[in-house]
A and B are shown apart, each in its own frame.
Chain A
Amino acid sequence: MSAIAFWGAVELGLVYGFVALGVFLAFRVLDFPDLTVDGSFPLGAAVAAVAITSGWDPWLACLIAALAGAACGLVTAFLNVRFGILNLLASILTMIGLFSVILRVMGRPNMAVLNQETVITPFLDLGLPDHIVRPLVLAVLVLIAVVLLARFLGSDFGLAMRAAGANPRMARANGVNVGGQIYVGMALSNALTGLGGALFAQVSGFADVTSGVGTIVVGLASVIVGETLLRSRVMLVALLACVIGSVIYRVAVQLALSMDLFFLRASDLNLVTAVLVALALVLPKIRAGKAVAR
């Protein structure tokens, strides 16, 4: 694997680090299996691509993408909290609907974001090679997100959100508005994912309506890899682990592809990821003897 390919994988891992943080928030904190991210990621990319090619400031484009993501999360939360639709199904409905929304936003299935002013471009003339600058800028951005999210989850409000996910009955008995927490948590989770999509469009140079397929599985894989390598109850470390997991996942994929491992092809990636995530979900249960008892 060349250095450029390696840094390219790190870069992609850092972009998907935002997704991993969002998935951690939904799955681990709120206990909400949320497939909305499969839609909010490409929507973030689409919104940012349209904004940037229209000459808007790239940071403003990121903000709008995050808000668009938050809106997706709110829709899913609304279907679940207000109407009691099963959380997984609610998120699938939002995801399916978003496919059409994205096509409307872009007016076509994909668009290029090449030779445009992005959040990376101001840092490109500082003397470092481009393939180093991009992951560096992304690392700073994702670290800021990690620190802010850790502070949030360590606050009174964040603690209430963790309780709402872990034990809703107890949370209610302690005056926590569980439905409200689901709204805020889902909005935040998908805002992070939308931001990830916006950055993806800027570093990859394109937005594509199909780029969201499997976002949830990749995010979950990152969370699981991170948890396996760096198990901690300190929130800052747990969040950092998600990002590191995302980077490791991408580097491992890149490594496997470059080595012509076994008989695998690039197109087998989705199957391999799905199998790995399934194993990671099943193994702890087998170890705990739960699967045997049922």
Chain B
Amino acid sequence: MIAVSDLHVTFNAGTPLERRAVAGIDLVLGEGEFVTVIGSNGAGKSTLLAAIAGDVFPRSGRIRIGDRDVTREAPAKRAARVARVFQDPLAGSCADLTIEENLALAFMRGSKRGFGPALKQERRSALRDKVKELGLNLENRMGDRMGLLSGGQRQALSLVMATLAGAEVLLLDEHTAALDPGMAEFVAGLTQRLVAAHGLTTLMVTHSMRQALDLGTRTIMLHEGRIVLDITGERRKNMGVDDLVEMFRRVRGGAELDDDSLRIG
């Protein structure tokens, strides 16, 4: 469960460069709810995720995860409950560590890391089974450096890593945007499967209107740091990409859609 109340995040406060990235967001995600987030560049999508993850601290407002107020908690501390996958496939894993070392690292997220070997035999086979489930044939490359893999493979493994240590919340920041269409579709499908299997409360930022409607159970649109649209249930089911684009246009004051900021389809 995530509860964000009256959240304000301001960058460079008190300087000429002051920017109010998040300007009063109230948002409650129920246990296991999967919400997609859309909005143009600078709407505050990534900042919202960063605030929930602890990368940026809000100027005011509260963030609760489960029954715990995490507003001022360091990112490493709340990592026990929050798993993340970044847009850049290079960001979510260590290129110089092997596949199994990366997985072992994620496996201990939120646990006390001791001085016992990280790659014990039973842990290795457990991790190998997880990778095998992907069907990407990576289970035979567990000793390969992560840096040798393609962006899609790394992103798929990042998703597996996110689910290894029993997080409550999953934050996805355009995690398919840097991938080729085939791999993006695979990772999107994998996301849906893993979220369902682990009952993760999920917030997914995306630039693809199609993906925003296809995945999850609820879609919110941000504009200038506020939630301007929140659709779910029947209304969302009956909505097509065209309707969403139309709403997007209206929100932006009728301005023409900027192709760079939004991918339709």
A positions within 8 Å CB-CB of B: 151-152, 154-160, 162-163, 166-167, 169-178, 233
The answer for the CA separation of A155 and B77 in the assembled complex, in Å, is 20
The reply to whether A151 and B76 contact each other, CB–CB distance below 8 Å, is no
The reply to whether B119 and A175 contact each other, CB–CB distance below 8 Å, is no
Q: Among the listed A173, A178, A233, which residue makes an inter-chain contact with B53, where contact means beta carbons less than 8 Å apart?
A: A173
Asked whether any CB of chain A lies closer than 8 Å to the CB of B42, the reply is no
The reply to whether A170 and B91 contact each other, CB–CB distance below 8 Å, is yes
Given contacts A159-B105, A162-B97, A166-B95, contact A173 B116 (CB under 8 A): no
The reply to whether A155 and B76 contact each other, CB–CB distance below 8 Å, is no
The reply to whether B94 and A170 contact each other, CB–CB distance below 8 Å, is yes
Residues from chain A with Cβ under 8 Å of B145 in the complex: 233
The reply to whether A156 and B76 contact each other, CB–CB distance below 8 Å, is no
Residues from chain B with Cβ under 8 Å of A158 in the complex: 115, 118
Going nearest first, the 8 A-B pairs with the smallest beta carbon separation are A175-B79, A156-B113, A175-B109, A166-B94, A159-B118, A155-B115, A157-B113, A174-B109
The reply to whether A170 and B115 contact each other, CB–CB distance below 8 Å, is no
The reply to whether A155 and B109 contact each other, CB–CB distance below 8 Å, is no
Given contacts A167-B91, A169-B91, A233-B98, contact A175 B117 (CB under 8 A): no
The answer for the CA separation of A151 and B120 in the assembled complex, in Å, is 12
Asked whether any CB of chain A lies closer than 8 Å to the CB of B225, the reply is no
Interface string of B106-130 (1 = CB under 8 A from A): 1011110111111100000000000
Asked whether any CB of chain A lies closer than 8 Å to the CB of B44, the reply is no
The secondary-structure label for the interface of chain B is: loop
Interface size on B, residues (CB 8 A): 36
The secondary-structure label for the interface of chain A is: helix
Given contacts A173-B79, A174-B105, A233-B145, 15 further A-B contacts (CB under 8 A): A154-B118, A155-B114, A155-B115, A156-B113, A160-B105, A169-B91, A170-B92, A171-B94, A172-B75, A173-B53, A174-B106, A174-B109, A174-B161, A175-B79, A176-B76
Residues from chain A with Cβ under 8 Å of B80 in the complex: 175
Asked whether any CB of chain A lies closer than 8 Å to the CB of B65, the reply is no
B119 closest partner in A (C-beta) = A154
B90 closest partner in A (C-beta) = A167
B positions within 8 Å CB-CB of A: 53, 74-77, 79-80, 83-84, 86, 91-98, 101, 104-106, 108-111, 113-119, 145, 161, 165
Which among A152, A159, A176 has the greatest number of chain B C-beta atoms within 10 A? A159
Which among B84, B96, B104, B113 has the greatest number of chain A C-beta atoms within 10 A? B113
The reply to whether A160 and B94 contact each other, CB–CB distance below 8 Å, is no
The reply to whether A175 and B76 contact each other, CB–CB distance below 8 Å, is yes
Q: Can you report 22 residue pairs joining A to B where beta carbons are below 8 Å apart?
A: A155-B114, A156-B104, A156-B113, A156-B115, A159-B104, A159-B113, A163-B105, A166-B94, A166-B97, A169-B86, A169-B91, A170-B91, A170-B93, A171-B76, A171-B94, A172-B76, A173-B92, A174-B79, A175-B80, A175-B109, A175-B110, A175-B111
The reply to whether A159 and B79 contact each other, CB–CB distance below 8 Å, is no
The answer for the CA separation of A152 and B75 in the assembled complex, in Å, is 25
The answer for the CA separation of A175 and B79 in the assembled complex, in Å, is 5
Residues from chain B with Cβ under 8 Å of A171 in the complex: 76, 94, 105
The reply to whether A162 and B110 contact each other, CB–CB distance below 8 Å, is no
A66 to chain B: closest CB distance in Å?
A: 18
Residues from chain A with Cβ under 8 Å of B95 in the complex: 166-167
B163 to chain A: closest CB distance in Å?
A: 13
The reply to whether A151 and B117 contact each other, CB–CB distance below 8 Å, is yes
B247 to chain A: closest CB distance in Å?
A: 33
The answer for the CA separation of A175 and B118 in the assembled complex, in Å, is 16
The answer for the CA separation of A163 and B92 in the assembled complex, in Å, is 11
The answer for the CA separation of A151 and B95 in the assembled complex, in Å, is 21
The answer for the CA separation of A164 and B98 in the assembled complex, in Å, is 15
Residues from chain B with Cβ under 8 Å of A154 in the complex: 117-119
Residues from chain B with Cβ under 8 Å of A178 in the complex: 76
The answer for the CA separation of A155 and B98 in the assembled complex, in Å, is 14
The answer for the CA separation of A176 and B96 in the assembled complex, in Å, is 17
Which among B76, B77, B96, B145 has the greatest number of chain A C-beta atoms within 10 A? B76
Residues from chain A with Cβ under 8 Å of B110 in the complex: 175
Which among A162, A169, A170, A171 has the greatest number of chain B C-beta atoms within 10 A? A170
B161 closest partner in A (C-beta) = A174
B50 to chain A: closest CB distance in Å?
A: 11
The reply to whether A173 and B114 contact each other, CB–CB distance below 8 Å, is no
